Amino acid sequence: MKILISDKLANEGVEILNATKGFKVDCKFGLKPEELKSIISEYDGLIIRSGTKVTAEIIEAADKLQVIGRAGVGLDNVDLKAATKKGIVAMNTPAGNTTSTAELTMSLILSLSRNIPQAYASLKDGKWERSKFGGVELYGKTLGVIGLGRIGATVANMAKGFGMKIVAYDPFISKEVASNKGVEMVTFEDLLKNSDYITIHIPKSAETKGLISEKEIGMMKKDVRLINCARGGIVDEAALAQALEDGKIAGCAVDVYEKEPPPADLPMIKYANCVATPHLGASTSEAQINVAIEIAEAVRNALQGKGIVNAANFPSLSAEAYKFLEPYIDLAEKMGKFAGQLLNGAISEIKVVYNGVMTQYKVTPITMSLVNGILAPILGETVNNINSLDVAKERGINVQEVQSNQEAEFVNLVAVEIKTDRETFIVWGTLSGNKQPRIVKINQVYVEAIPDGNIIFINNNDKPGIVGAVGTVLAREKINIAGITFGRETLGGLAVSVVNVDSDVDPKVIKEIQDTKDVLFAKLIKV
């Protein structure tokens, strides 16, 4: 089998493949798209980093390709839909930089606490200013961890070695799982109000962009220290700079930026109590070696038929089974994304009941897609269709899969019940006559909603004028309504409106809709 490595990879990974009997490895870096397209048909495996863009056009030309391996977390440079359609497994290495990023986080916490960069610069300048650089101890302080995944949990474990108390906010981790890690789960607001240090370890998404802004900073202690080694844009840079200017926080440490490289005049960097580094989270020799070894072993095992790990599309299925299940896999992911953006609280259980012809096949790929959709709005690229069940298990979420042959209201039905510590959320889905996904029930309300694109979800009292009021607001903002569906529990009772729109909607517009008389709740969700 021939494997192409098109981006620089640590030698340790290359050697694993070279030592595998029956493998021939070619290292060709810096290929232009046309060059890659012209040779890709020769290869069974492709290993990339961020430099190579594996487009649908390149995948179409990949007649023999079985595996694409990304030495890193992101797979945004791979057309996953095209790869899936062609039967190519796409894998990444989500764990390779865990230790390096966690250690950098602790380094920044210590540097920020003891003014190490500032003191070093002063000493290099020929000054002796001991009294100027008095610091604070970590012992006994409270560290608030936003996101208790691999990196967040590793940071928490390291910080416990310094005698810190750890609290965390993660809607996808149960209190029991967190307790086993020696971490107290708290609400987002409580974490902001009570932490001496706050560190962020979540993916950037529509849900997490601007998660920490002026309002959230205003809830923090005046002597709090904020650390971001996750992704730029999760913390509002303008709000952070203003907080430093006004003395609302004791300091910050930042490794990631909204734009990279950041502008030379980035306001927050000018403050003495801001420690800044140029995105060094994975920049250790060990991390580069780890991801190289991890992806080399994963690609080798996949090509040898020894199992697939960290795949970002779906498990291997026969062509016949996949052809039948594909629209249900798509339906399930859309249902999951729809529900995942509306849930309140930490998830404890996901129960999926299948009814209809699909029960003649193995439905686990549908379940994986559903769970992936539920978890993806918060966990982002760290969860995929292959690892979603393992990720759910790690977080103490019990996933039940039930195949029913009992007569149901719909011939083919995927019925999902999601339990959290605050509510039970129900969503039903099926396919229309032309195999298009439809949501047909939300909690106790029957609807026929199209789970696609930008959707404004509204809970309201069943009163006249709601549609007109919402339409007026959207028309004024020149937002076109693509479709709208309604449902209600009882006449005059709770109603649901699902509005499909052709463009993004500003949060101010959503707030105006929510402030409309008889509207109880409004949220923009993206499927």
| pLDDT 10s digits, 437-454 | 999 999 999 999 999 999
pLDDT score of 248 more than 60: yes
* Strand pairing category for 347-355 and 274-276: unpaired
What average pLDDT does range 416-425 have in this prediction? Answer: 96
Please report the pLDDT score of residue 460 as a whole number.
94
Q: With helix as H, strand as E and coil as C, how does 405-457 read?
A: CCCCCCCCEEEEEEEECCCEEEEEEEECCCCCEEEEEECCEEEEECCCCEEEE
C-alpha 273/C-alpha 253 separation (Å) is 8
3-class SS of residue 129: coil
Residues annotated as part of the active site: 231, 260, 279
Please report the pLDDT score of residue 391 as a whole number.
86
Please report the pLDDT score of residue 38 as a whole number.
97
CA-CA-CA-CA dihedral for 254, 258, 259, 262, to nearest 10? -30
Burial of 19 (0-12, 13-18, 19+ CB in 10 A): exposed
Task: Kindly indicate the confidence band of residue 240, based on its pLDDT and cuts at 50, 70 and 90.
Answer: very high
Mean pLDDT, the chain, integer: 93
C-alpha 27/C-alpha 4 separation (Å) is 6
Dihedrals φ, ψ of 381, to 5°?
-75, -5
pLDDT score of 199 more than 70: yes
Please report the pLDDT score of residue 407 as a whole number.
74
pLDDT score of 116 more than 70: yes
1-96+283-313 and 98-276: identical CATH topology: yes
Please report the pLDDT score of residue 97 as a whole number.
87
C-alpha 212/C-alpha 366 separation (Å) is 35
pLDDT score of 111 more than 70: yes
CA 526 to chain centroid:
14
Architecture label for domain 315-443: 2-Layer Sandwich (3.30)
Burial of 359 (0-12, 13-18, 19+ CB in 10 A): middle
Please report the pLDDT score of residue 316 as a whole number.
55
pLDDT score of 234 more than 60: yes
C-alpha 408/C-alpha 18 separation (Å) is 55
327 upstream amide cis, omega within 30 of 0: no
pLDDT score of 300 more than 90: yes
Q: What is the pLDDT of residues 145-191, one digit of tens each?
A: 999 998 999 999 999 999 999 999 998 888 888 999 999 999 999 99
Fold of 98-276: Rossmann fold (3.40.50)
Q: Which residue has the higher pLDDT, 73 or 67?
A: 67
3-class SS of residue 283: coil
pLDDT score of 48 more than 90: yes
Other beta carbons within 10 angstroms of residue 314's beta carbon come to: 24
C-alpha 348/C-alpha 178 separation (Å) is 13
Please report the pLDDT score of residue 125 as a whole number.
94
Consecutive H or E run containing 100: helix 98-114
Model pTM? 0.76
Task: Kindly indicate the confidence band of residue 244, based on its pLDDT and cuts at 50, 70 and 90.
Answer: very high
Please report the pLDDT score of residue 318 as a whole number.
60
pLDDT score of 429 more than 70: yes
Are 82 and 56 in contact, with CB atoms under 8 Å apart? yes
3-class SS of residue 259: coil
C-alpha 94/C-alpha 310 separation (Å) is 8
Please report the pLDDT score of residue 203 as a whole number.
84
Please report the pLDDT score of residue 319 as a whole number.
57
3-class SS of residue 352: strand
Q: Which of 293, 301, 365, 297 is nearest to 66 (CA)?
A: 301
In the chain, where the domains are located: 1-96+283-313, 98-276, 315-443, 454-527
Q: What contacts 28, CB < 8 A, 6 or more positions away?
A: 4, 5, 6, 39
Task: Kindly indicate the confidence band of residue 382, based on its pLDDT and cuts at 50, 70 and 90.
Answer: confident
- Burial of 191-225, coded b for 16+ CB within 10 Å and e otherwise, reads bbebbbbbbbbbbbbebbebbbbeebbeebbeebb
Please report the pLDDT score of residue 519 as a whole number.
95
Please report the pLDDT score of residue 264 as a whole number.
92
Are 256 and 231 in contact, with CB atoms under 8 Å apart? yes
Q: What angle do CA 70, 231, 371 make, to 5 degrees?
A: 65
Please report the pLDDT score of residue 311 as a whole number.
84
CA 194 → CA 46, 244, 251, 315, distances in Å? 48, 19, 16, 44
pLDDT score of 317 more than 80: no
Provide the β-strand partners of residue 424: 419
CATH classification of 454-527, choosing from 3.60.15.10, 3.30.70.260, 3.30.70.1400, 3.40.50.800?
Answer: 3.30.70.260
Are 335 and 353 in contact, with CB atoms under 8 Å apart? no
Domain 1-96+283-313 has CATH 3.40.50.720: yes
Task: Kindly indicate the confidence band of residue 285, based on its pLDDT and cuts at 50, 70 and 90.
Answer: very high
